[in-house]
Structure 1
Amino acid sequence: MDYIDLKKLSEMLNPPTANSSDSEDDLPKSSLVQLCKSKTGKDTKILTNESIKKNDEKNQKKIELLESEEDKAKNIWQEEEIVVAPEAIDVISDTRVRPEYDVKYQQYVGTEDAFLQMGPKTPLTSSCEAMVIEVKMPGDRMPGICTDITDEAVDIRSPKYRLHVPFPHNVYKQMSKALWNSSTNILTVTVFLKREYDDINF
């Protein structure tokens, strides 16, 4: 007698009632938030994906109701004008130390700019071609440092440190460079900015 025969015999001796079910497929598929009693005696919410979406939609409607059209007109920035800075998904959960860093802008000045002042360059950052990021990484060595530069951000990883810095503008990643100073333990990343009005500013 195998397992199937034993199961049939069990069903003959104990016929299933209307409320009992051995199959998971027979369970009600409800997307509503269910409540159950926890060990503390308090109600605990079990959330599903659909219930989370519904809650987000309700919260969004509440925000829209709180902010009228007149209030939106008074805002300095519109929602579509705000650009979200890109960030790596695993940066927040990373347990490594975030190192200190400085951001400087670099401008290439020629003789026509220094003496004759014939060019359109100004001391503002809009006239700077490059951005220099100096990352202080004490206790690290160059073989363990990985620098990943994209058009929108730089991601620096080492056994001790993790740093993700989004750029204010897109950059030319092919022209970017990184230099390691072993005496000061400082990593210098230089990126060349790619902006909309560079033809006017230079």
Structure 2
Amino acid sequence: MECLGVSSGQSLQALSALLSTQQEEDEDESTNVTLAGMGPGHIGPPPKKDKEVSTAYVKKNSKDIWSEEEVAEGSQYDDLADPRPQPEYEIILKQSVGTEDLFLGLNGKDPSSMCCEAMLVKIKLPDTKATDVTLDVKEKFLDLRTPKYKLGLHLPHPVHSAEGKAQFFSEREELEVTLLIKRLMDFINMP
């Protein structure tokens, strides 16, 4: 009994004939391929010649390398030549918890970040006055600049940039930025 290996040319042609749904005219063209040049790409029907081009990947300008949607928000603030150090910072996620959540568990909240409503960013700024701080908050990016420090922080969750608040504590030399997190309405995050 003869054992047919997967790599033998006859078995590849037989398998190609089984998987192919093209007309006999197309089969004549595929049999002209030499057995030595056959590979996994020759199994099945030949690729369609009239491929439809998706409009999502069509470049608008021939000199563009990528579209604006592919660039991360806040990348225009990245300046690798800037020698200012990055200050120490800490991100704390906050959620409103009432007695019905704590004792009865009625709202279905848990300690995970999915149940948090706000984000507190604490930034230590030694030897800095409140008037020296420039702060710009986008949906997914926080940009802070002082004469001594520079912080470009990609936020872990999208935020409502217009609804945040910032407070500078001179005695601790620390800036606290509170930002409301944008959440999809689901069974956990009900209004």
Contact 1:98/1:163 (CA < 8 Å) preserved in 2?
yes
Instruction: Report the counterpart of residue 186 of structure 2 in structure 1.
Output: 199
In structure 1, what is the equivalent of residue 167 of structure 2? 179
Which residue does 1:71 correspond to in 2?
A: none
Q: TM-score, normalised by structure 1?
A: 0.55
The answer to whether structure 1 residue 113 and structure 2 residue 93 are counterparts is no
Percent sequence identity over aligned pairs: 35
1:80-115 Cα shifts (integer Å, max 9, x gaps): xxx874333342222211101111110111121122
Instruction: Work out whether residues 139 and 160 of structure 2, in 8 Å CA contact, stay in contact via their aligned partners in 1.
Output: yes
Q: Please state which structure has a larger fraction of its residues in helix.
A: 1
Aligned pair count reads 119
Does residue 86 of structure 1 match 2:81? no
Change in Cα spacing, 1:90 to 1:112, as seen in structure 2 (3 Å) is closer
Cα distance change, pair 90–149 in 1 and its aligned pair in 2 (3 A): closer
What is the identity, as a one-letter code, of the residue corresponding to 1:170?
A: P
Instruction: State the match for 1:137 in structure 2.
Output: 125
Note closer, same or farther for the CA distance 1:121–1:165 as it changes in structure 2 (3 Å cut). same
Task: Structure 2: give runs of 5+ residues left out of the alignment.
Answer: 1-69
Amino acid at match of 2:137: I
- TM-score, length of structure 2 as denominator length: 0.58
For residue 89 of structure 1, give the secondary structure of its aligned residue in structure 2. helix
In structure 1, C-alpha distance between the alignment counterparts of 2:72 and 2:165, rounded to whole Å: 22
Give, in angstroms, the shift of residue 195 of structure 1. 2.6
Question: Contact 1:85–1:166 (CA<8 Å) still a contact in 2?
Answer: no
| Cα displacement string for residues 101-142 of structure 1 (whole angstroms, at most 9, x for unaligned residues) | 111110111121122210121110110111111101101000
Matches within 5 A, 1:19-30: none
Q: Distance in 2 between matches of 1:158 and 1:115?
A: 45
Q: Aligned pair in 2 of structure 1 residues 84, 124: CA closer, same or farther (>3 Å)? A: farther
For residue 138 of structure 2, what is the amino acid of its counterpart? T
Q: Does 1:155 align with 2:143?
A: yes
